Amino acid sequence: MKLTLKIWRQKDAKSKGQMVDYPINGIEGDMSFLEMLDVLNEELINKGEEPVEFDHDCREGICGTCSLQINGEPHGPDRLITTCQLHMRKFSDGDTIVIEPFRAAAFPVIKDLIVDRSAFERIQQAGGYISVNTSGNTIDANTIPIAKHAADEAMDAATCIGCGACVAACKNASAMLFTSAKVSQFALLPQGQVEATDRVRNMVRQMDLEGFGNCTNTGACEVECPKGISLENIARMNREYYAAGVKG
């Protein structure tokens, strides 16, 4: 395949970025999207030019780092996959592909296609944990009965990989889907009840402090989420938040 790539280039966080065109040849349908970028970068390096910086780690849909906006969609045109799992067979010979970083005020661009998503880590640090007594009388988690549907829903929520596609897809750059998945995975389990009130308050407060927008129920986040995280989690987080307010 012969393609034209229009890629966001930005030297550093303070520089003004711009779209730059790169023609590329010899792309196979079986290549992943990131392998296609590897080919481009080899060409750029051989020509003595700066390669395009992009984030990646596992390249198998687990780590959530490969955040690219491809033709206006987070993780590109396929559903329920990350950018690293996207294959070039989804595109046709002669296509122009627009590649940008995830856009959100709370995700500032560091360089080219890499954004700073440490805001998500700070939301996690605000309450995404449980405390367990390990002083000698620890209760084995497996001895606590958990209803099957609750275990399943908690597991589904826990599959969020923190990629940020929900934020990039949302016209308000809201982080409600991410935060609600992280609240839900504990709210559904007995182990999560001890700190439930503080958890939802602190995580929502941190989410607001980071500058993410409000949720207006457009549902774009759920459509673009590579892990199929459900809007049900947002409803659950809202219930948890109101319940925490009633407790005072």
Is residue 161 a contact residue for ligand SF4 (CB under 6 A)? yes
End-to-end CA separation in angstroms for the chain: 61
Partner from ligand FES, ligand SF4, none contacting 166, C-beta within 5 to 8 A by type: ligand SF4
From the CB of residue 159, how many other CB atoms can be counted at a distance below 10 Å? Answer: 14
HSE (CB half, 13 Å, CA atoms) of 197? 7
* Binding status of residue 229 toward ligand SF4 by CB under 6 A: yes
Q: Which amino acid is at 233?
A: N
Which H/E stretch holds residue 7? strand 3-9
Q: Does 32 bind ligand FES (CB under 6 A)?
A: no
How many other C-beta atoms can be found within 10 angstroms of the C-beta atom of residue 190?
13
Quickly tell me which residue has 């999207």 as its tokens.
33
Among residues 57, 38, 59, 166, the alpha carbon closest in space to that of 102 is found at 166
Map residues 51-70 to x or -, x wherever contact with ligand FES holds by CB under 6 A.
-----xxxx-xxxxxx----
Number of residues that bind ligand FES (CB under 6 A): 13
Amino acid in the structure at residue 202: N
DSSP 106-131: TS-EEETTEE--HHHHHHHHHH----
Interacting span for ligand SF4 (CB under 6 A) from 17-25, 100-108, 128-136, 225-233: 225-233
* Residue 84 site contact among ligand SF4, ligand FES, none (CB < 5 to 8 Å, cut-off depends on kind): ligand FES
- Binds 160: which of ligand SF4, ligand FES, none (CB < 5-8 Å by kind): ligand SF4
Q: How far is the CB of 228 from ligand SF4 (least distance, A)?
A: 8
Contacts to ligand SF4 by CB under 6 A: 160-166, 177-178, 181, 225-227, 229
Contacts to ligand FES by CB under 6 A: 56-59, 61-66, 82-84
